[in-house]
């Protein structure tokens, strides 16, 4: 709390000294004045009531129903305008898949087109597209007619392209019957040139 001292004679504010800077008087009034013991007790009661109200009506209250089957906590916050409560939900990216045959959208959690009964394949476009993370197709898709077949050698872990079907030989170690790579997420290896440039920049930042 900011406390001020006012001179009783001229009303000037006291500074660090013990005398008024205008008239030199040492008598002053304290602003705000000191509280009595009854006022302090009333302030303690108000503070305890405020803490109790905040504990009972928290800004975000977990709404957990132990009798529910999923038993998941739901975070809610009362709306400022008195309407529907705000419910916290994890942010998710909306993904749409379009059928490559009839250009209709797939229903969520369904791999069959509702229009032409086409099974979702790697040729069905995805929005947003992430070809850098899924170069072999998206998980759960069937191989489309326009998909380029990739094969992975189980012996040397080499991924290569080939025109043949199953049973293609590895060009690196000559392993036979290499299986085709299934649609999955692929983490590309970092470029060595980019790594060298980063190392050079870190060397320049070092101080002697």
* pLDDT at residue 59, as a whole number: 59
* pLDDT at residue 194, as a whole number: 84
* pLDDT at residue 205, as a whole number: 80
Q: What angle do CA 20, 26, 29 make, to 5 degrees?
A: 85
Q: Residues of 168-200 as b/e, b for ≥16 C-beta within 10 angstroms?
A: bbbeeeeeeebebbebeeeeeeeeeeeeeeeee
pLDDT digits (tens, 9 = 90+) for 54-69: 777 665 555 555 555 5
* pLDDT at residue 41, as a whole number: 92
Into how many domains does the chain fold? 1
Within-domain flag for 8: yes
The parent domain of residue 4 ranges over: 1-34
Spans of the chain below 50 pLDDT: none
* pLDDT at residue 99, as a whole number: 92
Within-domain flag for 161: no
Q: Record the tokens describing residue 37, joined without a space.
A: 């013991």
Q: In sequence order, which residues have a C-beta less than 8 Å from that of residue 194 and are 6 or more positions away?
A: none
Within-domain flag for 110: no
Within-domain flag for 47: no
* pLDDT at residue 66, as a whole number: 54
């Amino acid at each position: 709390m900011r406390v001020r001292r006012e001179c009783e004679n001229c009303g000037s504010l006291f500074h660090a000294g013990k005398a008024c800077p205008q008239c030199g008087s040492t008598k002053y009034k304290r602003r705000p004045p000191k509280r009595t013991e009854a006022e302090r007790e009333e302030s303690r009661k108000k503070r305890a009531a405020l803490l109790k109200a905040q504990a009972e009506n928290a800004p975000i209250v977990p709404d957990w129903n132990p009798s529910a089957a999923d038993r998941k906590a739901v975070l809610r916050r009362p709306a400022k305008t008195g309407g529907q409560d705000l419910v916290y939900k994890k942010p998710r990216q909306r993904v749409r898949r379009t059928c490559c045959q009839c250009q209709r959208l797939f229903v969520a959690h369904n791999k069959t087109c509702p229009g032409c009964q086409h099974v979702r394949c790697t040729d069905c476009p995805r929005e947003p597209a992430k070809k850098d993370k899924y170069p072999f197709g998206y998980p759960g898709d069937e191989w489309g007619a326009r998909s380029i077949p990739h094969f992975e050698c189980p012996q040397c872990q080499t991924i290569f392209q080939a025109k043949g079907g199953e049973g293609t030989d590895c060009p690196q170690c000559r392993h036979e019957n290499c299986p085709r790579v299934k649609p999955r997420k692929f983490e590309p290896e970092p470029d060595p040139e980019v790594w060298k440039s980063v190392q050079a920049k870190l060397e320049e930042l070092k101080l002697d």
